[in-house]
Amino acid sequence: MVLELYLDLLSQPCRAVFIFAKKNNIPFIIRSMEMLKGQLFSEEFNKVNILRKVPVLKDGDFILEESTAILLYLTRKYNTPSHWYPPDMKKRARVDEFLAWQHSNLRPCAAKILWLRVVIPLFLGQQIPSEKVQDALEELNISLQKLDEKFLQDRPFIIGSEISLADLVAITELMQPMGAGWDVFDGRPKLLEWRKRVEMALGKELFMEAHARILNAQELKNITIDPPLKAQMKPVLLKMLK
């Protein structure tokens, strides 16, 4: 039975899973989901994942959520090249360390820029105060500094001379603010060179295929939000902005 992946490529975790599967020639069927059209709240999707989140992997009767778990499952089931998740205990621990750190640091900080500049204005029909955006940028700058000084240091890739899951997850996260028109690599030559190496390792064509929607500013601004979802989320977003 062919692997099924439920994905919305506006989502960073979905893009990481999509790139990894395609780069490693893993056969799969993509079940495209559109979060902003409320498809995660359909009864059909509820039968797949009651958490109502993507990505989701469906391998026969086995269903797996959470992008990190999915990536690790794919490395093991399909015996992907060892550089993605090295057998060396210390190198593997470094990948684990980064994946644990980014989940509550780099990922939310990067996603927040896109939400404040693009997604929330679509829901509320108004721009977000500039000071809130500036606060989010400062938070992201702190995470970028830690990525640079703690995790990348002077290595070509996060754990050494070859690309790993850590680099894949990091690069897809850093494309989120790019969708909001903020170039996180501007003024950061070391991170820019790292980005070029990661793109080359992944393949430029695949990289752009995965990020086509997030980098299409005009399409993002013209997304139509599902009316029931907008009504449900509006009070939550207003409360969050107070």
Read off the pLDDT of residues 14-66 as tens digits, 9 standing for 90 and up. 999 999 999 999 999 999 998 888 888 888 888 888 888 899 999 999 999 99
Specify whether the CB–CB gap between 224 and 125 falls below 8 A. no
pLDDT at 89: 97
Amino acid of residue 68: T
Residue type, 71: L
**Between residues 67 and 220, which one has the greater pLDDT?**
67
Spell out the domains of the chain, with CATH numbers in brackets.
Answer: 3-77 (3.40.30.10), 89-241 (1.20.1050.10)
Q: CA neighbours within 13 Å on the CB side: how many for 28?
A: 24
Surface-to-core class of residue 184, CB atoms within 10 Å of its CB (0-12 exposed, 13-18 middle, 19+ buried): buried
Q: Which residue has the tokens 């940028």?
A: 137
Average pLDDT over the chain, rounded to an integer? 92
Confirm if 32 and 79 have CB atoms less than 8 A apart.
no
| Eight-class DSSP state of 84 | S
118-162 tens-digit pLDDT: 888 888 888 888 899 899 999 999 999 999 999 999 999 999 999
| Amino acid in position 226 | D
Contact 204, 212 (CB under 8 A): no
* Start-to-end CA span in the chain (Å): 49
Residues listed for the chain: 242
Q: Evaluate whether 78 touches 25 at the Cβ level (below 8 Å).
A: no
Contacts of 123 (CB under 8 A, 6+ apart): 225, 230, 233, 234, 237
